[in-house]
Amino acid sequence: MSKKIAFQGELGAYSHEACVHARPNMEPLPCTSFDDVINAVRTGAADLAMLPVENTTYGRVADIHRLLPDSGLHIIDEAFVRVRICLMANKGTALDTIKTVRAHPVLIPQSHKYLTARDIRGESAVDSAGAAADLAANPEAGIGVLASKMAAKTHGLDVLAHDIEDNDTNTTRFLIMSPKANMTRRGETHMLTSFVFNVRNIPAALYKAMGGFATNGINMTKLESYMVDGEFTATQFYADIAGHPDDEDVQRAMEELEFFTSEIKILGTYPAAFARD
């Protein structure tokens, strides 16, 4: 039986594309929500999870940072997908007949210039690949969908326009997660370590907590704060650093971090993807 990798969305979603590129020998398993993706791995219905964490255009993906710390899963790899937006419609449709396009709310503003120039109205859908599947099953005149080329191929729609996104560097970063951590690899590129932490309630705690990384020459590639437990005073931080927990300089930095934090949780150590460079 083939191994499975779970993702959120319908077949043809950008997350599906990430699965195909990063794990071509695994069977993609579509799930309704991010919680369902995590639960699929927890229950053994899937072997790995593919979760988007951030996009170069619209920033971090909502809810992901909230879910990761308590997911019980470990980051074992990262993957990047260049978000190429296609306008698609039912077979035989002419581009100049399209008056409305449906897509996930984040895709519509990413194609603002193209849609505005052609007086095409955007209409929000729960899922772009799902909108493609719905249009294929229920053809409508004057209606198009914004989604990936894979979605058009999967659901039998014609691509009327390619690469219509405003930003030609539009890219989404994904994390590949497993029930088991893998701390043995060093990879062909440098290693990354992701973790979350809560600072202690003392003056300049975050500044002091970050000092160990500066003095030990550790490159922090990402640092984000977000509220937890519905309280403005309960702030958790998510960080990515270049290095492995077994490296002496990383050990020293993490030991110093412990003095100024109430909790630290390592989410994973994994090779930096070639696409990062």
Residues 77, 208: Cα–Cα separation, whole Å? 30
252 vs 148: CA distance, rounded Å: 45
Q: Indicate the SS3 state at residue 203.
A: coil
Decide if 16 contacts 30 (C-beta within 8 A): yes
Whether 171 is catalytic is no
Determine the Cα–Cα distance for residues 263 and 257; give it in Å rounded to an integer: 10
Q: CA quadruple 9, 173, 269, 277: dihedral positive or negative?
A: positive
Q: Are strands 231-242 and 261-271 parallel, antiparallel or unpaired?
A: unpaired
Per-residue H/E/C for 54-71: EECCCEECCCHHHHHHHC
Residues in the chain: 277
- CA 198, CA 10: separation in Å to the nearest integer? 35
Indicate which residue of 174, 195, 213, 260 is catalytic.
174
* Active-site option among 93, 154, 172, 193: 172
DSSP string of 135-177, one letter each residue: HHHS--TTEEEEE-HHHHHHHTPEEEES---S-TT-EEEEEEE
Is 274 one of the annotated active-site residues of the chain?
no
Active site residues: 172, 174
